[in-house]
């Protein structure tokens, strides 16, 4: 079983890296629907794999200068508080309700991945961004380019919600982070994706610490997931330049939509 | 932060900290992966043929529910303890990253970010050790 789980996780990590949507969101449905793993073990294993891929990828991005460490730290205050609250809520929310919530997030992800992304850059920064020195610059083909940060309070509150979702569902909640950083704070794509990735590890570590004490992190199920997703993500990052992402993105959207329907069905019929 | 001299980069400049943070994350993931693989190999060698059932949650009976329990399990070369220690090292990697940035902001005397980073670190330690 460990070998099968590792192969499945490898596929999730590969697809997640190639489409840029993260493999975490596929891991929990795969474990619960396909391998009939209890939702809590699935969440524990998924969180561990999220920490591995985010830290692995962040190590490269942060050194290349894309990541805005100050924005990361500031928003991590919101996501870690959210994650601890989410971990506390997890004991109160029935697993069937969690399955329905998961289905909603999956459907939203599928819908978002079908849409073209637009970069909205701002000319004037939010006053808080100036006071907190959040504005920065990043390397481009034409040299260092500076950017202004907008919507600081909205971004902070949205990240708090992203932290709660991350803990409740065992995901990186990249889709919500993109909402906060692309839409509200108007960061360039390269900066928002790398900074979001930088924060995901810290957010997941907050709830994973709590779940360790609750026995959600079961070594036999977590190790094939962690190693599989990490290997898949590493390979995905290698072949990214040569891959036909348009086609993969469509495949990913279909997979996510099918999983959403199944999660919804299980949640409503109480099969979780 | 002002550079110490025009032609030399200060040791704790933002750029230098980024390089250091990147190295730390890389090292943490590598170390955790090596420990997990070692434990997993032992686990598969001894219990490879066992049929496992994870349909039912029995978290309360698990013996590896803390940092110290995982470390103790690994020190006795228990395969499950070894894997769990690797997973704990992985969870500790972002925590170490936050601790390192805290030191950097302390050296830079960046008061606001010292406070923000300290809050994040306290929350993480609370989650991991409470």
pLDDT reading at B2 higher than 70: no
A202: which 2 tokens? 């810290």
Contacts of A174 (CB under 8 A, 6+ apart): A21, A22, A24, A25, A196, A197, A200
pLDDT reading at B59 higher than 70: no
* Radius of gyration in angstroms for the set of CA atoms belonging to chain A, rounded to a whole number: 18
Residue B73 belongs to some domain of the structure: yes
Q: A198 or B99, which is more confident? A: B99
Residue B61: list chain A partners with CB under 8 A. Answer: 215
Report CA torsion sign: B52, B47, A12, B28.
Answer: positive
Q: B8 or A36, which is more confident? A: A36
Selected for mutation to probe chain B from A8, A56, A62 (highest B CB count within 10 Å) is A62
Q: What is the mean pLDDT of residues B54-76?
A: 78
Instruction: Provide DSSP, A6-66.
Output: HHHHHHHHHHHHHHTS-SHHHHHHIIIIIS---HHHHHHHHHHHHHHHHHHHHHHHHHHT-
Q: A269 or B3, which is more confident? A: A269
| CB burial string B78-96: b at 16+ within 10 A, e below | bbbbbbbbbbbbbbbbbbb
Spatial separation of the C-alpha atoms in residues A248 and A107, rounded to whole Å: 17
Q: B14 or B3, which is more confident? A: B14
Contact B7/B83 with Cβ under 8 angstroms? no
pLDDT reading at B65 higher than 90: no
Nearest Cα residue in chain A from B68: A213
Domain range holding A64? 2-269
What are φ and ψ of residue A64, in 5° steps? Answer: -80, -10
Contact B120 A41 (CB under 8 A): no
Contact A60 B86 (CB under 8 A): no
Average pLDDT, chain B: 85
State how many domains chain A has: 1
Q: pLDDT tens string for chain A (272 positions)?
A: 788 899 999 988 888 777 766 777 889 999 999 999 999 999 999 999 999 998 888 888 888 888 999 999 999 999 999 999 999 999 899 989 999 999 999 998 888 877 766 777 888 899 999 889 999 888 888 888 899 999 999 999 999 999 999 999 999 887 788 788 888 899 988 888 889 888 999 999 999 999 999 999 999 899 999 999 999 988 887 776 666 667 777 888 888 889 899 899 988 887 66
Q: How confident is the model at residue B3 (pLDDT cuts 50, 70, 90)?
A: very low
Q: Give the minimum alpha-carbon distance from B25 to chain A in angstroms, rounded to a whole number.
A: 5
Contact A174/A108 with Cβ under 8 angstroms? no
Contacts of A19 (CB under 8 A, 6+ apart): A113, A245, A248, A249, A252
- pLDDT of A252 reads 81
What are φ and ψ of residue A145, in 5° steps? Answer: -125, 130
Residue B107 belongs to some domain of the structure: yes
CB under 8 A, 24+ apart: contacts of A246-255: A248/A15, A248/A18, A248/A19, A249/A19, A249/A113, A251/A15, A252/A15, A252/A19, A252/A21, A252/A113, A253/A110, A253/A113, A253/A114, A254/A110, A255/A15, A255/A26
Residue B24: list chain A partners with CB under 8 A. Answer: 59
Q: What is the mean pLDDT of residues B120-125?
A: 96
Nearest Cα residue in chain A from B22: A59
Q: What is the mean pLDDT of residues B47-74?
A: 74
* Ramachandran assignment for A133, one of left (phi > 0), alpha (psi -120 to 50 degrees), beta (any other): left
Q: How confident is the model at residue B6 (pLDDT cuts 50, 70, 90)?
A: very low
* Ramachandran assignment for A210, one of left (phi > 0), alpha (psi -120 to 50 degrees), beta (any other): alpha
Q: How confident is the model at residue B51 (pLDDT cuts 50, 70, 90)?
A: low
Count Cα neighbours of A108 within 13 Å in the Cβ-side half-sphere: 13
Domain range holding B115? 14-47+63-129
State how many domains chain B has: 1
| pLDDT tens digits, one per residue of B16-32 | 888 999 999 999 999 99
Residue B58 belongs to some domain of the structure: no
Q: How confident is the model at residue B50 (pLDDT cuts 50, 70, 90)?
A: low
Spatial separation of the C-alpha atoms in residues B75 and B130, rounded to whole Å: 23
- CA torsion A57-B26-B76-B62 (nearest 10°) is -30
Tell me how far apart the 2 most distant CA atoms of chain A are, in Å.
Answer: 56
pLDDT reading at B8 higher than 60: no
- pLDDT of B44 reads 86
- pLDDT of A245 reads 66
Q: What is the mean pLDDT of residues B90-94?
A: 95
B56: which 2 tokens? 């039912």
pLDDT reading at B55 higher than 50: yes
- pLDDT of A250 reads 82
How many beta-carbon contacts under 8 Å exist across A and B?
Answer: 176
Query: What are the C-alpha distances in Å from B18 to residues A39, A58, A137, A152, A244?
Result: 37, 10, 14, 23, 32
Selected for mutation to probe chain B from A9, A98, A209 (highest B CB count within 10 Å) is A209
Q: Give the minimum alpha-carbon distance from A169 to chain B in angstroms, rounded to a whole number.
A: 16
Residue A204: list chain B partners with CB under 8 A. Answer: 94
Total-model pTM: 0.90
Contact A214 B65 (CB under 8 A): yes
Spatial separation of the C-alpha atoms in residues A25 and A47, rounded to whole Å: 10
């Amino acid at each position: 079983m460990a070998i099968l789980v590792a192969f499945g996780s490898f596929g999730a990590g590969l697809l997640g890296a190639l489409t840029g949507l993260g493999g975490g969101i596929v891991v929990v449905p795969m474990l619960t629907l396909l391998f009939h793993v209890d939702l809590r073990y699935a969440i524990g294993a998924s969180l561990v794999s999220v920490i591995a891929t985010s830290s692995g990828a962040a190590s490269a991005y942060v050194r290349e200068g894309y990541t805005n460490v100050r924005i990361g730290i500031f928003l991590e205050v919101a996501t870690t508080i959210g994650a601890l609250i989410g971990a506390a809520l997890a004991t109160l929310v029935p697993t069937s309700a969690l399955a329905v919530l998961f289905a909603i997030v999956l459907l939203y992800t599928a819908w978002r991945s079908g849409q073209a992304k637009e970069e909205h850059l701002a000319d004037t920064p939010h006053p808080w961004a100036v006071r907190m020195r959040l504005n920065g610059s990043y390397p481009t083909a034409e040299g260092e380019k500076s950017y202004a940060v907008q919507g600081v309070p909205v971004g902070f509150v949205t990240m708090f919600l992203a932290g709660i979702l991350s803990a409740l569902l065992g995901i990186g909640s990249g889709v919500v982070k993109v909402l906060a950083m692309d839409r509200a704070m108007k960061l360039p794509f390269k900066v928002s994706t790398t900074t979001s990735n930088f924060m995901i590890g810290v957010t997941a570590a907050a709830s994973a610490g709590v779940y360790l004490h609750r026995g959600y992190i079961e070594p036999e199920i977590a190790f094939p997931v962690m190693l599989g997703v990490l290997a898949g993500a590493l390979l995905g990052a290698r072949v990214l330049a040569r891959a036909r992402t348009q086609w993969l993105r469509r495949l990913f959207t279909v997979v996510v939509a099918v999983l959403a329907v199944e999660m919804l069905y299980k949640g409503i019929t109480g099969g979780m | 932060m002002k550079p110490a001299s025009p032609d030399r980069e200060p040791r704790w400049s933002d750029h230098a900290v980024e390089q250091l943070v990147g190295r730390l994350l890389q090292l943490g993931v590598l170390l955790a992966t090596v420990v997990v693989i070692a434990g997993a190999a032992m686990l598969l060698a001894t219990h490879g043929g066992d049929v496992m059932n994870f349909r039912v949650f029995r978290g309360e009976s698990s013996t590896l529910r803390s940092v110290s329990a995982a470390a103790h399990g690994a020190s006795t070369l228990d395969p499950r303890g070894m894997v769990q220690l690797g997973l704990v090292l992985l969870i500790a990697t972002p925590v170490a990253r936050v601790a390192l940035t805290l030191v950097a902001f302390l050296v830079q005397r960046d008061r606001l970010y010292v406070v923000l980073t300290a809050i994040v670190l306290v929350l993480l330690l609370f989650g991991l050790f409470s």
